Structure 1
């Protein structure tokens, strides 16, 4: 199953339990050997009801998305009317489109054949050339555009502040860049109020469950610094050095080095004032990525890295569930009650 979001959907998006999914996945995103993968995470399975969806048809998921959009858009119209503005609800598209996807997942970074072609999937990846150009993508048309253009500049400014909330402050922008910004629906205008009305308070952000979220953060930190992983990373690093790739202390450092080099190239491609922007050439970096990823893959196989990593992760998660069962059950109930 695949999910497509429009620009409009991204504008309406708020933090959800999907953040928990990313935490659960950790760095063990691929098959760890023995047929296991991060998808078999004990904590992930325990909290599956939070994000759910796997047991629903694409039609059911689409109907839920469309219904949430209808509630949201109608609320926005009422909210904007109270602020003295007109707003035409857009009920033809919820911004999220679900479609069935029967093809096998093309992401297989534990396969030598895959790695030989894509490396880590950083510079190039499966399906990259199949992505539509901006001109080919269906663009959402705002039904309120004509009305907004009929307003004076000052009225337009007031309209968008009522719709989205005030412009972000310098502190907000800095927090966004650092990844520490916390969304607050109460300061996000009619859109924020509508999201809260359509979805209710997100338990993931509530004060009630803050101690559980902090405990989860501690779990990930404990997992990353576990003595067994330190020993495993040391064995992996020795293997990398023997393979001609010294200088990496932990397994994720290898892929991160490619990302850092790519970011540096992008930053260096920023044109000077008056110059035309030229897309950078990543050919050499792509070749370097594959070369490094193949050595990394060989060392992961020699050290049984993924399977041993999952041993640590799963053991810690099982103990976490035992220690925090009451809090986890309350967290799950909060999500079920808001549906």
Structure 2
């Protein structure tokens, strides 16, 4: 299966998304004013989230890969560290995800990381040939050492809590390199508060103002030749299609059906552009921000004591260092 290895940098990013609302922006001018995308809760929690601003993730990823290599050697396998310096961000950081400009160039961004501007593969697994030469049983042991042993298949709708102690050499390396960086989001004292934040953001999508716009957006998409009921359905359909494509990859080489991949990329681009245009037409993201910011302010007012405790704990820790 072609995928970039999981790192705790991704885990940290997911944690930070709790304070972003995880929303795309369909307004072509959205994002030009950074304050337009930062709500009351995001502003309030900056003493905690700003701790991530100075982290050199590329350096930590190099350290992680070296720890993985050492761990795999102890387990009896060879492992060549991935050179993350060769994997650059495929997106222009000045173009906001979800805008028409982004969609025109990158679609939803699902396929952007697999190819460079000239169409050549950017990410190549340096261990692919080594793994391909293994027998089925050897490969299973290698994967178990690298990622951990999965006891039973995960259901599609099941909640999954990552446990580094059961995640093989990557889990060990992730904890050693990113454990401190993720501490604010792994502290059991604030787990319930984070769950409340997640539920608060989930309320945004179910707000009557947005469900009314879903219908208008759906009508616009129908006129463009697409059949989706809600805004989130469009991107999710492409995500699910890519998951299916990668799950059907050759188990030995990790290669996928290139014709199907090209067709899916074309579908991604056309869907994302129509989606962005229709969101702009109905002013979906403008309304979404209004709803989100109102809920964030209500959340800050209601949970100020817990938020202050979280800030005091981790802003103070940062200052002490």
**Aligning the two structures, in what range does the TM-score lie when normalised by the shorter sequence?**
0.5 to 0.7
Structure 2 residue 232 is the aligned partner of structure 1 residue 232? no
Residue 250 of structure 1, aligned match among 226, 230, 234: 230
For 2:188 and 2:237, how far apart are their aligned partners in 1? 37
For 2:179 and 2:48, how far apart are their aligned partners in 1? 17
1:176 Cα deviation after fit: 11
For 1:208 and 1:253, how far apart are their aligned partners in 2? 35
1:266 Cα deviation after fit: 3.0
Contact 2:204/2:288 (CA < 8 Å) preserved in 1?
no
Aligned to 1:183: 163
Aligned 1:137-156 pairs, distance under 5 A:
none
Aligned 1:44-55 pairs, distance under 5 A:
44-53=42-51
For 2:211 and 2:271, how far apart are their aligned partners in 1? 21
- Change in CA separation of 1:242 and 1:217 when aligned onto 2, cut-off 3 Å: same
Contact 1:109/1:119 (CA < 8 Å) preserved in 2?
no
TM-score of the aligned structures, taking structure 1 as reference length: 0.62
Residue 280 of structure 1, aligned match among 258, 261, 281: 258
Contact 1:243/1:295 (CA < 8 Å) preserved in 2?
yes
For 2:9 and 2:231, how far apart are their aligned partners in 1? 32
- Greater relative contact order structure (CA < 8 Å, 6+ sep): 2
Contact 2:164/2:172 (CA < 8 Å) preserved in 1?
no
| Deviations 1:246-281 (CA, angstroms, capped at 9, x unpaired) | x3121121121122222233334447x9x9955432
1:214 Cα deviation after fit: 2.5
**Larger radius of gyration between Structure 1 and Structure 2:** 1
Residue 335 of structure 1, aligned match among 298, 302, 314: 314
Contact 2:25/2:96 (CA < 8 Å) preserved in 1?
yes
Aligned to 2:15: 20
| Deviations 1:84-125 (CA, angstroms, capped at 9, x unpaired) | x9xxxxxxxxx998xxx9x96154445545433432222346
- Change in CA separation of 1:280 and 1:106 when aligned onto 2, cut-off 3 Å: farther
- Change in CA separation of 1:202 and 1:248 when aligned onto 2, cut-off 3 Å: same
1:191 Cα deviation after fit: 4.7
User: How many residues were matched structurally?
Assistant: 281
For 2:16 and 2:182, how far apart are their aligned partners in 1? 18
For 1:276 and 1:185, how far apart are their aligned partners in 2? 26
Structure 2, gaps ≥5 residues long: 68-73, 75-82, 128-140
1:14 Cα deviation after fit: 8.5
Contact 2:190/2:310 (CA < 8 Å) preserved in 1?
yes
| Deviations 1:135-168 (CA, angstroms, capped at 9, x unpaired) | 7x7x9xxxxxxxxxxxxxxxxx9xxxxxx9x954
- Change in CA separation of 1:17 and 1:114 when aligned onto 2, cut-off 3 Å: closer
For 1:293 and 1:193, how far apart are their aligned partners in 2? 33
Residue 103 of structure 2, aligned match among 115, 122, 144: 115
1:39 Cα deviation after fit: 3.9
Contact 1:43/1:318 (CA < 8 Å) preserved in 2?
yes
1:297 Cα deviation after fit: 2.1
Structure 2 residue 86 is the aligned partner of structure 1 residue 105? no
Question: Secondary structure of the equivalent of 1:134?
Answer: coil
TM-score of the aligned structures, taking structure 2 as reference length: 0.64
Aligned to 2:203: 222
- Change in CA separation of 1:317 and 1:280 when aligned onto 2, cut-off 3 Å: same
The worse-fitting range, judged by mean Cα deviation, of 211-220 and 185-194 is 185-194
For 2:148 and 2:272, how far apart are their aligned partners in 1? 43
Question: Secondary structure of the equivalent of 1:288?
Answer: helix
